[in-house]
Structure 1
Amino acid sequence: MKRPSGFTPPPEGRRPVRGSAAGGADDASPDASEAASPRRSTSDTSRSTSRAGSGSGKSSRGDSLSAGDKKPRGAEASSSAHSSTPGARAKKTGSSSKESRAARPGSSASSAGTRTPQPGDDDARASSGFLPSVRQARRERKRVERAEVKRFTARSRRRRRTWLIAGGSVVGIGVLAAALAFSPILSVRTIEVDGAVRVSSDAVVQGLQPIVGSPFPLVDQSAIKAELVKYPLIESYSVESRPPDTLVVKLVERTPVGVIDTGEGFTVVDAAGVVIEASNTQPTGYPLIEVPDGVTSEGFQSAAGVLRAMPDELRQKVASVTAKTHDDVTLKLRDTDATVLWGSADDGAFKTLALERLMAATDPATVAQYDVSSRKTVVVREQP
């Protein structure tokens, strides 16, 4: 077959796409139109021109007609579908692609003809191989963010962990100590009494037997007090726990300060007037307290306060104490006729020191009176 002059064969493997006379542009595939290259369009145009010049009556997609010629319907569609220029063909192809996309079910187009992206488009493209997996990218981003958060919060997490460990240790130790304290392991099995001189320690231990077997935190303090108040000679007491099984009761007995003549006998009393012991004869080693109204008077409180403030060595040198009011306490020394004008019970430490120095500096046998009632001036009055 003889080819017309000016005809250029298409590249090998590519065939020109021709539209039918009835409507080739609508039947042509958009993908095939988009795949066409400028070289292919030029070949098609040349081929159509050659056929037109040879006098063929058939219309092709490359035919060009004058403005005054009347185009057949099929030729007009073919000419519009296959333009002689690449730009026109690309425009038509793009328009056909948009129309085909808009015609797909489930798609939506805006007023300008553009398609609104749908939520599953990225995943669909990723599955087709056009885009990387969006899920993988999100997972990678979250992994990097978590790593950065861990790196920047490492110090605070270590500090919080340290505090939690310390708090847990303290709580654990407290729970363990409470468990041991309230368990039978740390309970009272032995009772010891310290400081008992006039009070029988065996009697005290026997009276406290009901608390034996109780855990140390559950020892009934009121029961101990109720037992010890039965002994008037006990002035105060304290309780000490000595694990694992010993309870120590420390007693402070009343300190006798003098003797009172009741007319029927003599009673040894402490500074509060509590009778420590009674006797028909005057006990030795204690001064005689001479007051007009007994242990409830103001004079007795002053005299007993003075004797209690004295050291034992000086108290044993006092034969008697007289007092009618708060400010006229007078002492009489043993084995001499010397007296001490003490005054009130205030400043007992200063008056005691002054009297000891005066007695050391002078012979009490030659002194009629030591006056230490005034803090500013002390006076020694000798016998005539």
Structure 2
Amino acid sequence: MTSTTSADRNAKSLIPLERGGTAESSTVQDRAVEADRSAMQDEAPLTARDLWQATRARRKALRTEIRRFTQRSRRRRIGWIIGAALALLIVGGSVGAAYSPLFAVQTITVEGTSSLKAGDVQKALSGQVGRPLALVDASAVKAALVRFPLIETYRLEAHPPHDLVVRIVERTPVGVIQQSDGRFTVVDVAGVVLSTSEEQPAGYALIDVSGGTASKAFAAVGTALRTLPAELRGQVAGAAASTPDDIVLQLNGGAKVVWGSAEQSALKTRSLQALMKANPDAASYDVSSPGVGIVG
């Protein structure tokens, strides 16, 4: 009985061990099956929706990266656009204002006149008063100033908001020519008649040349006279030439100046001044060769 009891005990004690081993093994197998199922689920083929979502996410990420890398250039481009818009606004506003009555002519200032009266020139240009400075009629101004023979050149200057400045260069009278009718005309170096009178005006040389004011002889005499300083030119009573190379000046005191051609007139003028200063009572001065002055 004792042996049977021991055997039974051993049998009873082995049964639980065998069942316990079987339960643990079953648990491990279940876990392996679940892992296989998960792997099978992970390895399941992608659907069209999965591909669309992945593509959309990639495009979104790409756009984000592009925006991040081009942020500086986009800011720079926006800055240029804003700057250009402001510049156009300023230019457009300025142009619009320039052509508006806000910049209309109210005052005409004449500068550079000596023989002319500035008031006469202003009166001739009065038609420009009230016009915008940008719309001053240059043709009308020219037509008005042509009536003044003493005007050689002129320049218009707009001084906003309301001033129009006219800078005038007057012609330089070089002498007097006696006309066939006995009257005397004051002319400049180009032969333009500046004034006419019945009597010979004082202070101008009487010019006697062959061929009239259109000749080369007159052009040479005019150049020589214009080169003289105003003070010395006022001492010349007459100027004669039959050709461009034989100019002779007659001074008020009776002395004669052999000038020759009009070439090197500036140098000849300095030579004459030096000779007259050193020999004020001489009867003649020859400066036809300016390097060698001759006193007679």
Alignment TM class, shorter chain as reference? 0.7 to 0.9
SS for the counterpart of 1:319 is strand
Partner of 1:205: 122
Query: Whose strand proportion is higher, 1 or 2?
Result: 2
**Letter in structure 1 aligned against 2:279:** T
Taking only the aligned residue pairs, the percentage that are identical comes to 40
Partner of 1:378: 292
Partner of 1:118: 47
TM-score between the two structures when normalised by the length of structure 1: 0.61
TM-score between the two structures when normalised by the length of structure 2: 0.77
Query: Is 2:185 aligned against 1:185?
Result: no
Partner of 1:308: 226
1:125-165: CA deviation from partner (whole Å, max 9, x where unpaired) = xxxxxxxx958964884476257515xx63x5565566555
The answer for unaligned runs of 5 or more in structure 1 is 18-31, 38-89, 102-113, 124-132
Alignment length (residue pairs): 280
Partner of 2:69: 149
Partner of 1:227: 144
**Letter in structure 2 aligned against 1:229:** V
Shift of the 194–379 alpha-carbon distance from structure 1 to 2, 3 Å rule, reads closer
Structure 1 window deviating more from structure 2 (140-149 vs 297-306): it is 140-149
SS for the counterpart of 1:352 is helix
Query: Is 2:246 aligned against 1:248?
Result: no
CA shift at 1:201, angstroms? 4.1
Whose Rg is larger? 1
1:5-56: CA deviation from partner (whole Å, max 9, x where unpaired) = 97933428x69x9xxxxxxxxxxxxxx796289xxxxxxxxxxxxxxxxxxx
- Aligned positions of 1:7-22 closer than 5 A: 8-9=18-19, 10-11=22-23
Shift of the 200–120 alpha-carbon distance from structure 1 to 2, 3 Å rule, reads same
Q: Larger RCO: Structure 1 or Structure 2 (Cα < 8 Å, ≥ 6 residues apart)?
A: 2
For 2:274, which of 353, 357, 377 is the aligned residue?
Answer: 357
Q: Distance in 1 between matches of 2:63 and 2:216?
A: 90
Q: Distance in 2 between matches of 1:233 and 1:122?
A: 94
**Letter in structure 2 aligned against 1:342:** W
SS for the counterpart of 1:235 is strand
Shift of the 166–140 alpha-carbon distance from structure 1 to 2, 3 Å rule, reads closer
Query: Whose helix proportion is higher, 1 or 2?
Result: 2
1:370–1:378 contact (8 Å) kept in structure 2: no
1:298–1:324 contact (8 Å) kept in structure 2: no
Structure 1 window deviating more from structure 2 (164-173 vs 297-306): it is 164-173
The answer for unaligned runs of 5 or more in structure 2 is 1-10
1:212-232: CA deviation from partner (whole Å, max 9, x where unpaired) = 222111111011111111222
Q: Distance in 2 between matches of 1:379 and 1:198?
A: 36
1:266–1:282 contact (8 Å) kept in structure 2: yes
- Aligned positions of 1:1-384 closer than 5 A: 8-9=18-19, 10-11=22-23, 35=33, 117-121=46-50, 138=58, 141-142=61-62, 145-146=65-66, 148-149=68-69, 154=72, 156=73, 160=77, 163-164=80-81, 166-263=83-180, 264-336=182-254, 338-363=255-280, 365-366=281-282, 368-375=283-290, 377-382=291-296
SS for the counterpart of 1:11 is helix
